[in-house]
Amino acid sequence: MIKNISNLGDAALYCDFGNEVNKSINSHVIKYFKTIKEKKFEGINNLTPSYNKLIISFDLKKTNFKEVKHYVENIDAKDSQDINSKKLEIPVCCHENFSMDIKRLEEILKLSREKILENFLNKEYFCYMTGFIAGMPFLGDLDENMRAQRLETPRVKVPKGSVALTEQFANIYTFESPGGWNILGNTPLDVFDSSKEDKPNLINPGDTVIFKEITLDQYKNYNEQ
């Protein structure tokens, strides 16, 4: 449930669901997100769910903090349809061409390459949120022994499709972008497609993702058909 609502500037509501990051808190965030999105309250122009916060921005020409706060406080988030989530398999190639930070991960985690892949692949990860760049999914939770900090100096260019790790999370760079996460592999799948306006994101909050390893040949042939 929402623990506190405050203003973020003069044109957004900051809904705080707590400080921990877990599936249960995140499900509440997503439930509120979906309910408010369906109801199309006049003046609300954006909703950003994250691990444990929901930011609701609005057009100050049409409404204000007090009105939107009153609306959110009186909403029955249970009205929302059940979270309609998918389970997705994402092919990932961890060939040395792609796993740019495997050496760094081996050192930090004190695990072999084989062990790192074994810990990472074929497990279910929950999509907490998407964003930063268009369509980037924030997936969790990685095993305790798989948690590494960001690079000290972020890369100026992370290749499109990179599958990368930081703390308890994995993500996918949906297009080339700067970034500081530890790169483990690359997926040939288009995780974001701006030509599909109604459904540009392959992975959405609430979905479950499993990474399946493919070989370099399978990677190269993936988009051939």
Partner 1 sequence: MSSNYLDIIRPGINTTFQDKGRDHLYHIGIPFSGAMDSRNYLIANKLVNNDLDSAVIEFAYQGPHIKYSGEKINFAITGDVIFSIKRKDTEIEGNCYKSYQIENGDEINIISTNKSVYGYLALGGELDLKFQWNSCSVNTKANIGSNDGKKLDVGQRVNLNKINSNKDIKKTNYINTKIENIRVIKGTNFDYFSEEGKKIFFEKEFTVTKLSDRMGMRLEGPKLDNIVNTNIKSEGLIKGVIQVPADGNPIIMLSDHGTIGGYPKIGVVASVDYDRLVQMSPGSKIKFKEINLSDAETLFKLYEMETQNLLSQI
> What's at 108, amino acid-wise?
I
- For the CA atoms of 129, 135, 138, 139, the dihedral, rounded to the nearest 10 degrees, stands at 100
Helix (H, G, I), strand (E, B) or coil at 87: strand
Stretch that binds partner 1, among 4-12, 72-80, 88-96, 108-116 (CB under 8 A): 4-12
The answer to whether residue 155 forms part of the interface with partner 1 (CB under 8 A) is no
Q: How many CB atoms lie within 10 A of CB 85?
A: 15
Among 23, 39, 45, 70, interactor with partner 1 by CB under 8 A: 45
Measured from the CB atom, the residue of 35 and 177 that comes closer to partner 1 is 177
Interaction of residue 210 with partner 1, rule CB under 8 A: no
Residues 142 and 111: beta-carbon distance below 8 Å: no
- Residue 39 binds partner 1 (CB under 8 A): no
Identify the residue among 3, 19, 39, 145 touching partner 1 (CB under 8 A). Answer: 19
Q: Which residues contact 180 (CB under 8 A, 6 or more apart)?
A: 150, 151, 153, 154, 155, 166
Interface contacts to partner 1, rule CB under 8 A: 6-12, 14, 19, 21, 33, 37, 45-55, 57, 60-61, 64-65, 129-136, 138, 174-175, 177, 192, 194, 197, 200-201, 204-205
